[in-house]
Amino acid sequence: MGNAAQETKKKKILVVNGILHGHFTCSVEIVRELAELGHDVTCYVLDEFAARLDDVPVKKVVYSADVSEIRKKLPPVAPPFAINSFLFGKAIDVLLTMLPEDKNDYDYYVFDSFFDIEEMNKVLKIDPAKFVKICSSFILTDENPNDIIEGRIRGLQETNQKYNINLHDFVGLHVTPNKFKKLILTSKYFHIRAEDTDETAYFIGPNIEKRVFDENFDFKKDPNKKLLYISLGTVFGRDVEFYHRCIEAFRDSEEYQVIMSVGKFVDIKQNFSDIPSNFTIYNYVPQTQLLPDVDVFISHAGFNSTTESFANGVPLVLVPQKYDQLDISRTVQKLNVGVFLNKYEIDITPDVLRKAVKEAYDNKETFKAGIKKINDSFSEARNNRTAIYAKVFE
């Protein structure tokens, strides 16, 4: 965080952290920096993530949004965001009960962008000028808004009826224009149609998460092969057919050792009976620990995965699944820093995967020049954080 010596007016700030893993992670560094600047910060944090704030000098209000019984009733093939809809409905219900009882006079209220603060404020009745949003990725999209809305309203209905409000689809909400100040965890350079953002957009660069080395990760790199890493992230990691295509593409390859992370919802023994000797399949991989050794990364183009790859100079083959991942992939392609495979336009066969990985590896030096420009823009944005905080929390 740059310009640390700059004088900052101390404020009383309430932060409602994100309730999805990636969104929560995006908030941690921000609240740490605000506290280090001397602000009095209180975090409303889901019990699942509370321990991750133990070393952050903030006050914690821990709450629960238990949807375990609902999760049991959903079919195994339910869309990835189905349970999250109920999670948001429950969390917002709890927050709309707790926040009005909080008698602290906060100067600012900072919410993760997936919270519909405009609708919530029909109950909270807070001065709208006090709201700030943390945006984990692009705030614009080239995707079809109707597709973004599909299927994620059901879990919000009970809360809507209870408070007589109209909570909007949380993913679509993220890319809906609004009047609130926004802390955006990218740079203006690495943002789709940046020229269309307005004065409420403050680009503060991505977080740099410091993760503890995982001694239980038993990976050993083959010194005679390039390392290919494959992951579709935590939400969309259930595409078993895609994993099998990757296996067929690089089965018994003399060139590549392959690490494949299939997420916690995929049963490895049940779904993979014939694993080639050059493959190792995990439910979880400590990604920031592995990336320095990776030669090519086949990724779903999640924002955190993409920026972590940039930080390590790893050539990317992007296979986006939904939402901002497509926008991120288009931006990567536009800036010539990776290979974009659009599964909605082409059949991603084993042959297509082999050619894409070869293209990414062969162009790694060209990509590095573009990645440096992106990383430089991230550094500049991060160096401006203190000045931006002073302006946002004036």
Q: How far apart are CA 310 and CA 337, in angstroms?
A: 9
Q: Considering the chain, what is the average pLDDT of its residues?
A: 92
C-alpha 319: how far from its chain's center? Answer: 16
pLDDT-derived band at 1 (thresholds 50, 70, 90) equals low
Angle at 170 between CA 332 and CA 298, to 5 degrees: 30
Residue of 325, 269, 275 whose CA lies nearest to 301: 325
pLDDT the model gives residue 4:
47
Mean pLDDT on 171-182: 91
For residue 302 the two structure tokens come to 């999640």
Q: Hey, which residues does 45 pair with through a beta bridge?
A: 62
What percentage of the chain exceeds 90 in pLDDT?
Answer: 79
Q: Hey, which residues does 318 pair with through a beta bridge?
A: 299, 340
pLDDT the model gives residue 151:
67
pLDDT at 3 over 60: no
DSSP string of 9-31? ---EEEEE--SSHHHHHHHHHHH
Q: CB under 8 Å, gap of 24 or more: what pairs does 56-60 form?
A: 56/28, 56/31, 56/32, 57/32, 58/15, 58/31, 58/32
Residue 300: in which H helix or E strand, if any?
none
Query: What does the DSSP 8-state code read for residue 319?
Result: -
What are the start and end residues of each CATH 3.40.50.2000 domain in the chain?
12-184, 226-377
| Fold classified for 12-184 | Rossmann fold (3.40.50)
Distance between first and last Cα of the chain: 18
Mean pLDDT on 249-259: 97
Mean pLDDT on 346-373: 97
Q: What is the pLDDT of residues 27-48, one digit of tens each?
A: 999 999 999 999 999 999 999 9
May I ask the CATH architecture of the domain 226-377? 3-Layer(aba) Sandwich (3.40)
Q: What is the pLDDT of residues 84-114, one digit of tens each?
A: 899 999 999 999 999 999 999 999 999 999 9
pLDDT the model gives residue 5:
43
Higher pLDDT, 366 or 81: 366
In the block, residue with structure tokens 């909570």: 167
Q: Hey, which residues does 203 pair with through a beta bridge?
A: 184
Q: How far apart are CA 301 and CA 321, in angstroms?
A: 8
Q: In 3-state terms, what secondary structure has residue 132?
A: strand
* pTM of the shown model: 0.90
pLDDT the model gives residue 70:
85
Q: How far apart are CA 352 and CA 133, in angstroms?
A: 40
Quick check: 314 and 293 in contact, CB under 8 A?
no
pLDDT-derived band at 154 (thresholds 50, 70, 90) equals confident
Mean pLDDT on 241-268: 95
Residue of 307, 330, 318 whose CA lies nearest to 142: 330
Burial letters 265-277, b for 16+ CB under 10 A, else e: ebeeeeebeeeee
Residue 111: in which H helix or E strand, if any?
strand 108-112
363 CB contacts (<8 Å, ≥6 apart)?
315, 339
What percentage of the chain exceeds 70 in pLDDT?
Answer: 95
In the block, residue with structure tokens 């080239």: 142
Q: Hey, which residues does 296 pair with through a beta bridge?
A: 228
Helix axes 117-124, 82-98, angle to 10 degrees: 30
Quick check: 309 and 291 in contact, CB under 8 A?
yes
pLDDT the model gives residue 212:
63
